[in-house]
């Protein structure tokens, strides 16, 4: 490293709200159904963590480029709680003038009044968890909302002047047809949301859907159909004016999610709240990764202590990444991003030349049409994106 101070990457902030009205059978996010759920105590705990983190990073003068309130179901929060979280952030951190402020909402808890209140307190990006635009698929996913509620929430969001509206959709549900999915995409585009996230349904171990899969009571979509849906999604949305900028994310020009894009380009982000994780760089060149513990009770108890001592670390783990670990992360994240892996960044972090280091494998993949590169970037082709998980797993 030269004697100059490294230029630190952009910094964003994620706040996790771990409560849901009911648990969806495919979900492996950290969230719980609690009745009543400890909203006030949780908001106070997150505020305390924000203050503590700020003290620890007192010398870091970077302004926040984006704030993301995710979950779980943040739209369950009362507006005064969202305001309490945001005003706490504003008093602690400098924030850029055009800071992107996202709130994730579910249709059944996102009323027009709440949306207006969120907008008034600075939320400028709303992400609505619609998930499907047919009654049958909403039922298959066992979502707590029906189609009419989804459409009403979109209409309400349109009445509020958010800079970006995102609709989250899940596809590759059992029996799904291309024609049916095409109609859902046509409707999603017709609503005029600037951003669409379309995820394939993945069945994670430990979820109720995984149990049903093992018992044979959940019949997944055939792989070939899933491939067709993936390609169809990319092509239809690109043709409509929402090109993919990440494997599952599509946006009108100027509406990429700044917070999520910052993950993919290996920017820095703080994660506060239960189970949140973060990654940030220090002026001495180290890169740290943090992972908060998953227990809500332990989090609340720790944050209620009189004195928080960094040395205790009872609810989070901090790991200093080696250059090799950081390099792997740059590649794993970059390959999912349309811009690909920034080869100069990889070189700067690891001291190695990615294409030479992995020459045999990458050459083979290039011949198969899965990967391409130039002096600046290494990217998966569309055919490579179809097998992204398998390829990425073989790289390191
Ligand atoms: S609403 Fe979202 S976070 Fe909550 S259980 Fe369903 S998928 Fe998971």
Counting ligand 1 atoms within 8 A of each CB, the residue from 19, 25, 73, 294 with the most, and so the one to mutate, is: 73
191 lines ligand 1 (CB under 6 A): no
- The CATH fold assigned to 11-264 is TIM Barrel (3.20.20)
For the record, the structure tokens of 131 come out as 């998930």
Strand partners, 92: none
**Beta 125-131 vs 64-71: how paired, if at all?**
unpaired
Q: For 280-344, give the secondary structure using H, E and C.
A: EECCCCCEEEEEECCCHHHHHHHHCCCCCCCCCCCCEEEEECCHHHHHHHHHHHHCCECCCEEHH
- Nearest Cα residue to 391 out of 365, 373, 363: 365
Q: What is the pLDDT of residue 304?
A: 84
Averaged pLDDT, 186-195: 97
278 lines ligand 1 (CB under 6 A): no
Q: What is the pLDDT of residues 126-176, one digit of tens each?
A: 999 999 999 999 999 999 999 999 999 999 999 999 999 999 999 999 999
Averaged pLDDT, 228-250: 97
- Mean pLDDT is lowest, of 150-164, 175-189, 300-314, for 300-314
371 lines ligand 1 (CB under 6 A): no
Tell me how far the alpha carbon of residue 343 lies from the centroid of ligand 1, in angstroms.
36
71 lines ligand 1 (CB under 6 A): yes
Q: What is the pLDDT of residue 3?
A: 47
Which H or E run includes 14?
Answer: strand 11-17
Averaged pLDDT, 363-372: 97
31 lines ligand 1 (CB under 6 A): yes
Tell me how far the alpha carbon of residue 360 lies from the centroid of ligand 1, in angstroms.
42
Residue nearest to atom 3 of ligand 1 (CA): 72
65 to 10, 133, 183, 298: CA distances (angstroms): 7, 32, 36, 30
29 lines ligand 1 (CB under 6 A): yes
Averaged pLDDT, 291-309: 84
272 lines ligand 1 (CB under 6 A): no
Ligand 1 atom closest to Cα of residue 26 = 7
Averaged pLDDT, 171-186: 96
Kindly report the average pLDDT of the chain as a whole number: 93
For the chain, the straight-line distance linking the first and the last C-alpha, in angstroms and rounded, comes to: 25
Q: Is residue 309 pLDDT above 80, yes or no?
A: no
Ligand 1 atom closest to Cα of residue 143 = 6
Q: What is the pLDDT of residues 3-23, one digit of tens each?
A: 456 789 999 999 999 999 999
Tell me how far the alpha carbon of residue 390 lies from the centroid of ligand 1, in angstroms.
26
| Distant-in-sequence contacts of 27-32, Cβ < 8 A, 24+ apart | 27/207, 28/204, 28/206, 28/207, 29/71, 29/72, 30/72, 30/274, 30/275, 30/294, 31/71, 31/72, 31/73, 32/296
Tell me how far the alpha carbon of residue 59 lies from the centroid of ligand 1, in angstroms.
36
Averaged pLDDT, 219-229: 93
Task: Kindly indicate the confidence band of residue 1, based on its pLDDT and cuts at 50, 70 and 90.
Answer: very low
For the record, the structure tokens of 240 come out as 């409509």
Q: What is the pTM of this model?
A: 0.95
Averaged pLDDT, 104-115: 98
- Scored b (16 or more CB within 10 A) or e, 189-219 reads bebebbbbbbebbebeeebebbeeeeeeebe
Q: What is the pLDDT of residue 310?
A: 61
Counting ligand 1 atoms within 8 A of each CB, the residue from 70, 110, 127, 129 with the most, and so the one to mutate, is: 129
- Mean pLDDT is lowest, of 1-5, 232-236, 300-304, for 1-5
Write out the residue limits of the CATH 3.20.20.70 domain(s) in the chain: 11-264
Q: What is the pLDDT of residue 312?
A: 60
User: What are the residues whose beta carbons fall under 8 Å from the beta carbon of 132, sequence distance 6 or more?
Assistant: 138, 140, 141, 143, 150, 169, 170, 173, 184
Angle (CA) 392-331-393 rounded to 5° is: 15
């Amino acid at each position: 490293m030269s004697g100059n101070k490294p230029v630190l990457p952009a910094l964003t902030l994620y706040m996790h709200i771990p409560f849901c009205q009911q648990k969806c059978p495919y979900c492996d996010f950290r969230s719980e159904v609690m009745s009543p759920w400890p909203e006030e105590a949780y908001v106070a705990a997150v505020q305390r963590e924000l203050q503590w983190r700020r003290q620890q990073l007192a010398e870091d003068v970077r302004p926040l480029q984006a704030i993301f309130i995710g979950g779980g179901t943040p739209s369950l929060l009362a507006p005064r709680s969202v305001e309490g979280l945001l005003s706490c952030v504003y008093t602690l951190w400098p924030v850029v003038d055009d800071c992107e402020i996202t709130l994730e909402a579910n249709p059944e808890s996102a009323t027009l009044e709440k949306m207006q209140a969120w907008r008034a307190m600075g939320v400028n990006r709303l992400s609505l968890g619609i998930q499907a635009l047919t009654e049958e698929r909403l039922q298959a996913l066992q979502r707590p909302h029906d189609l009419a509620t989804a459409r009403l929430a979109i209409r309400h969001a349109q009445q509020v002047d958010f800079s970006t509206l995102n609709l989250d959709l899940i596809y590759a549900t059992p029996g799904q047809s291309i024609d049916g999915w095409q109609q859902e995409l046509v409707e999603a585009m017709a609503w005029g949301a600037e951003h669409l996230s379309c995820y394939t349904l993945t069945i994670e171990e430990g979820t109720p859907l995984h149990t049903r899969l093992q018992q044979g009571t959940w019949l997944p979509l055939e792989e070939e159909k899933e491939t067709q849906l993936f390609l169809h999604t990319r092509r239809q949305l690109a043709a409509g004016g929402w090109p993919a900028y990440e494997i599952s994310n599509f946006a009108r020009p100027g509406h990429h999610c700044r917070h999520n894009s910052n993950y993919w380009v290996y920017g820095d982000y703080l994660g506060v709240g239960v189970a949140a994780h973060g990654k940030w760089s220090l002026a001495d060149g180290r890169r740290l990764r943090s992972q908060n513990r998953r227990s809500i009770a332990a989090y609340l108890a720790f944050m209620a202590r009189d004195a928080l001592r960094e040395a205790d670390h009872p609810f989070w783990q901090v790991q200093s990444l080696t250059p090799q670990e950081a390099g792997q992360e740059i590649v794993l994240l970059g390959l999912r991003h349309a811009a690909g892996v920034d080869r100069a960044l990889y070189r700067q972090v690891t001291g190695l030349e990615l294409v030479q280091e992995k020459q045999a494998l990458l050459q083979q993949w290039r011949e198969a049409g899965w990967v391409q590169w130039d002096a600046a970037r290494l990217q998966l082709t569309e055919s490579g994106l179809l097998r992204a998980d398998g390829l990425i797993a073989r790289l390191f």
